[in-house]
């Protein structure tokens, strides 16, 4: 196979999870399981440790969400002491802070999606027009670099750049303004967050698009040129449709993680002064859980967030399968 | 596809020397140079600050050229025993975690790459589902704590041992290997373990290198798990050392002008710590970058 990136294959009739549901088993079916085990037991044995990992560290915590419905005491049973029903869910649904952080999450999520999704496409298209290969490589290498940094380092850099004596304020005073304590002011937080997010992710985001661009059939450009299409129209009618499956796939993934806005980065960058715009569901959950020790309450918020995330990715996937014929599975 | 596939063969769209396009190309070059400058500027600023005299930083005079060049802050950070302890911890955690991750990921990816295996869709589903739904912070914390992993290296290296993305990349690679070799080895009497160790792994050096890189960078950079599960200062990785440094600086900054000296000293120390923590990554970056890029693109091949 020559291409590095294939458009995802048409959706199979059944999702992988469908295999969970026990199919009606004939005796023959049963026997073949025994045969499979006898023949492939060594192969299955290789899967034991990884399966154990998934079971303990991925699925057990899912079950552990049960503490969202039970009263949990730190140090007590990991599944809580007694049932309290939907008490904790009612609690956060009537909690004004919850709605504030929920709004902040939506705003930051939307802004991130608005900038961090299209900009890599733009950058990839611009890079694609570069003829000098060395220059192209150089720009690519530099733009990938921020992706390899720890979020702590990025946060520390942001703090240095936006500090009173930092680059941002050097620019402000260059234009005759007074220094601004950017990170102390709620109205600046969104700008700082989104721009640092763009800085860190835009270059890395181009990789898949650049790969997709190389798979576009040369003849299509030829045909478009013969039809009299200029560069711009070639881009519009050939290039963009050519990378559409990649775009849709990444869009679905982005939508799926829409609510999980950069928890770690916000945790590092925000402070009580900027809570009005910076506090999001996951940071609120973190404070509720670890600073106020309301484990059950925080677990309820987390479960709510995870379920919404799952619904978002499932619906984005269904919508895209129906409208553009691309889906994750 | 193989790992050697050229990834950036230029797409020639034939000559187009219309005036508009020539102007576009000039503008394009300028824009891309702008991207380079914006990306590099923060790095250069931090390096400049780490080498500058604090007085110049306070005055806002340090841009990308160090002012009042001195290495005092470097000496200060490097003479901090805790910095080196935490640095060493990062190295140890990264090595151990990467090792565990590679073994688990390789085993599972190899199993998943066998199309005839009964129950394979189930095994894939088990992994895939965790990409879209997770137990969440609190249940994870309760679990790790009740397993007694708090304040041990295991809290850092075990709960994130398998990345499903990496798993799918590796599975795609194994699927691309020619099946005949393994069949021949089986005929010659090798069992599954033998085939994996003596036939498959030697053919998979490239992908294993890629996986080592993926995992190592992720573990090198991680901070939150350690921050959450480790209270003992001498068990922390250097990322949490840096985090504590910046957290301390911000609280000093908001407490007012009285601590201005402390704040500025902290600014230089932060810059130095950033430089020292980033250095290993910057040092290997030019050599490993292409592996990453290929790995990401392998991951794009549907699993």
Tell me the per-residue pLDDT of B96-138, one tens digit each, with 9 for 90 and over: 999 999 999 999 999 999 988 989 999 999 999 998 888 889 9
Q: Please tell me if residue A179 touches chain B, with a CB cutoff of 8 Å.
A: yes
Tell me: pLDDT of B255 over 90. Answer: no
The interface predicted TM-score (ipTM) is: 0.85
Tell me the per-residue pLDDT of A134-178, one tens digit each, with 9 for 90 and over: 999 999 999 999 998 999 999 999 998 998 888 888 888 888 888
Q: Please tell me if residue A217 touches chain B, with a CB cutoff of 8 Å.
A: no
Tell me which chain A residues have a C-beta less than 8 angstroms from the C-beta of B125. Answer: 15-17, 19-20
Q: Look at residue A31 in the predicted model and tell me its pLDDT.
A: 62
Tell me which chain B residues have a C-beta less than 8 angstroms from the C-beta of A291. Answer: none
* A211 in any annotated domain: yes
**pLDDT confidence of A229, banded at 50, 70, 90?**
confident
* A284 in any annotated domain: yes
Tell me the per-residue pLDDT of B34-87, one tens digit each, with 9 for 90 and over: 999 999 999 999 999 889 888 888 777 888 888 888 888 888 888 888 899 999
* A329 in any annotated domain: no
Over residues A95-121, the mean pLDDT reads 92
Lowest mean pLDDT among A237-246, A291-300, B68-77, B171-180: B68-77
Tell me: pLDDT of A108 over 50. Answer: yes
Measured in whole angstroms, the distance separating CA B55 from the mean position of its chain's CA atoms is 35
Tell me: pLDDT of A250 over 70. Answer: yes
Q: Look at residue B4 in the predicted model and tell me its pLDDT.
A: 42
Q: Please tell me if residue B256 touches chain A, with a CB cutoff of 8 Å.
A: no
Which secondary structure element, helix H or strand E, spans residue A38, and what is its range?
A: helix A27-54
* A4 in any annotated domain: no
> For every residue of chain B, which 3-state class applies, written as one string?
CCCCCCCCCCCCCCCCCCHHHHHHHHHHHHHHHHHHHHHHHHHHHHHHHHCCCHHHHHCCCCCCCCCCCCCHHHHHHHCCHHHHHHHHHHHHHHHHHHHHHHHHHHHHHHHHCCCCCCCHHHHHHHHHHHHHCCCCHHHHHHHHHHCCCCCCCHHHHCCCCCCHHHHHHHHHHHHHCCHHHHHHHHHCCCCHHHHHHHHHHHHCHHHHHHHHHHHHHHHHHCCHHHHHHCCCHHHCCHHHHHHHHHHHHHHHHHCCHHHHHHHHHHHHHHHHHHHHHHHHHHHHHHHHHHHHHHHHHHHHCCC
Tell me which chain B residues have a C-beta less than 8 angstroms from the C-beta of A298. Answer: 137-138
> For chain A, what is the domain count?
1
* CB proximity under 8 Å: A 83-102 to B: none
Q: Look at residue B72 in the predicted model and tell me its pLDDT.
A: 82
Partner-chain residue, chosen from A2, A159, A221, that has the shortest CB–CB distance to B246: A159
Q: Look at residue B34 in the predicted model and tell me its pLDDT.
A: 95
Tell me: pLDDT of B254 over 80. Answer: no
* A31 in any annotated domain: no
Tell me which chain A residues have a C-beta less than 8 angstroms from the C-beta of B273. Answer: 156
Among A41, A78, A160, most B C-beta atoms within 10 A, so best to mutate, is A160
* A164 in any annotated domain: yes
Q: Please tell me if residue B255 touches chain A, with a CB cutoff of 8 Å.
A: no
**pLDDT confidence of B6, banded at 50, 70, 90?**
very low
Mean pLDDT, chain B, whole residue set: 84
Q: Indicate yes or no: CB of A151 within 8 angstroms of CB of B223.
A: yes
Q: Look at residue B287 in the predicted model and tell me its pLDDT.
A: 85
Which secondary structure element, helix H or strand E, spans residue A111, and what is its range?
A: helix A96-116
Q: Please tell me if residue B189 touches chain A, with a CB cutoff of 8 Å.
A: no
Lowest mean pLDDT among A247-251, B125-129, B293-297: B293-297
Partner-chain residue, chosen from B36, B103, B143, that has the shortest CB–CB distance to A61: B143
Q: Look at residue B16 in the predicted model and tell me its pLDDT.
A: 65
* CB proximity under 8 Å: A 111-140 to B: 123, 126-131, 133, 135-140
- Nearest chain B residue to A10 by CA distance is B302
Q: How many other CB atoms are there within 10 angstroms of residue B232's CB atom?
A: 9
* Domain encompassing residue A109: 95-324
Q: Look at residue A6 in the predicted model and tell me its pLDDT.
A: 42
Tell me: pLDDT of A271 over 80. Answer: yes
Q: Look at residue B12 in the predicted model and tell me its pLDDT.
A: 54
Q: Indicate yes or no: CB of B141 within 8 angstroms of CB of A289.
A: yes
CATH code assigned at A274: 1.10.3720.10
* A53 in any annotated domain: no
Tell me: pLDDT of A105 over 80. Answer: yes
Q: Look at residue A29 in the predicted model and tell me its pLDDT.
A: 54
Q: Indicate yes or no: CB of A130 within 8 angstroms of CB of B32.
A: yes
Partner-chain residue, chosen from B59, B135, B267, that has the shortest CB–CB distance to A58: B135
* A29 in any annotated domain: no
**pLDDT confidence of A37, banded at 50, 70, 90?**
confident
Question: Residue A201: CB partners within 8 Å, gap ≥ 6?
Answer: A116, A120, A146, A147
Over residues A87-92, the mean pLDDT reads 90
* CB proximity under 8 Å: B 204-243 to A: 217, 220-224, 228, 239-240, 242-243
Q: Please tell me if residue B15 touches chain A, with a CB cutoff of 8 Å.
A: no
**pLDDT confidence of B15, banded at 50, 70, 90?**
low
């Amino acid at each position: 196979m020559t291409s590095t990136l294939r458009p995802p294959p048409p959706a199979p009739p059944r999702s992988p999870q469908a295999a969970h549901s026990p199919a009606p088993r004939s005796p023959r079916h049963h026997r073949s399981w025994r045969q499979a085990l006898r023949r492939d037991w060594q192969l299955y044995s290789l899967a034991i440790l990884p399966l154990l990992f998934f079971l303990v560290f991925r699925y057990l915590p899912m079950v552990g969400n049960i503490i969202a419905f039970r009263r949990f005491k730190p140090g007590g049973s990991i599944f809580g002491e007694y049932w309290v029903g939907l008490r904790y869910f009612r609690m956060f649904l009537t909690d004004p802070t919850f709605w504030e952080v929920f709004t902040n999450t939506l705003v930051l999520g939307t802004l991130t999606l608005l900038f961090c999704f299209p900009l890599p496409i733009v950058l990839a298209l611009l890079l694609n027009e570069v003829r000098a290969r060395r220059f192209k490589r150089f720009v690519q290498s530099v733009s990938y670099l921020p992706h390899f940094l720890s979020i702590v380092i990025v946060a520390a850099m942001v703090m240095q750049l936006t500090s009173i004596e930092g680059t941002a304020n050097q620019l402000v005073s260059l234009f005759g303004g007074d220094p601004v304590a950017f990170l102390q002011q709620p109205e600046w937080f969104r700008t700082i967050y989104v721009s640092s997010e763009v800085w860190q992710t835009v270059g890395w985001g181009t990789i898949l698009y650049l790969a997709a661009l190389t798979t576009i059939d040369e003849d299509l450009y030829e045909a478009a040129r013969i039809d009299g299409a200029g560069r711009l129209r070639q881009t519009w009618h050939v290039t963009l449709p050519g990378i559409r499956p990649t775009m849709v796939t990444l869009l679905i993934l982005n939508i799926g993680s829409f609510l999980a806005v950069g928890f770690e980065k916000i945790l590092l960058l925000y402070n009580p002064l900027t809570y009005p715009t910076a506090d999001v569901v996951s940071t609120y959950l973190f404070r509720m859980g670890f600073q106020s020790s309301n484990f059950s309450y925080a677990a309820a918020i987390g479960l709510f967030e995870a379920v919404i995330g799952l619904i978002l990715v499932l619906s984005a996937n269904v919508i895209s399968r129906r409208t553009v014929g691309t889906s994750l599975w | 596809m193989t790992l050697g596939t050229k990834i950036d063969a230029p797409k020639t769209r034939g000559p187009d020397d219309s005036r508009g396009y020539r102007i576009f190309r000039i503008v394009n070059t300028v824009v891309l140079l702008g991207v380079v400058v914006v990306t590099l500027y923060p790095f250069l600023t931090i390096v400049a600050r780490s080498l500058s005299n604090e007085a110049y930083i306070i005055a806002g005079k340090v841009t990308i050229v160090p002012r009042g060049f001195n290495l005092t802050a470097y000496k200060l950070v490097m003479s901090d025993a805790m910095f080196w302890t935490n640095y060493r911890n990062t190295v140890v955690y990264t090595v151990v975690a990467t090792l565990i991750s590679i073994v688990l990921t390789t085993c599972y990816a190899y199993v998943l790459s066998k199309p005839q295996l009964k129950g394979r869709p189930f095994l894939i589903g088990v992994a895939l589902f965790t990409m879209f739904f997770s137990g969440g912070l609190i249940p994870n914390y309760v679990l790790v704590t009740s397993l007694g992993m708090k304040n041990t290296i295991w809290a850092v290296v075990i709960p994130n041992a398998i990345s499903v993305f990496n798993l799918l990349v590796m599975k795609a690679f194994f699927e691309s290997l020619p099946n005949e070799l393994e069949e021949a080895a089986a005929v010659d009497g090798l069992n599954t373990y033998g085939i994996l160790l003596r036939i498959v792994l030697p053919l998979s050096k490239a992908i294993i290198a890629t996986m080592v890189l993926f995992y190592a960078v992720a573990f090198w950079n991680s901070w939150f798990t350690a921050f959450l599960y480790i209270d003992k200062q001498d068990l922390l990785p250097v990322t949490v050392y840096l985090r504590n440094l910046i957290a301390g600086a911000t609280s000093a900054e908001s407490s007012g002008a009285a601590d201005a000296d402390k704040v500025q000293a902290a600014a230089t120390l932060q810059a130095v710590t950033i430089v020292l923590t980033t250095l290993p990554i910057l040092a290997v970056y030019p050599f490993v970058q292409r592996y990453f890029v290929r790995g990401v693109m392998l991951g794009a091949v549907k699993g």
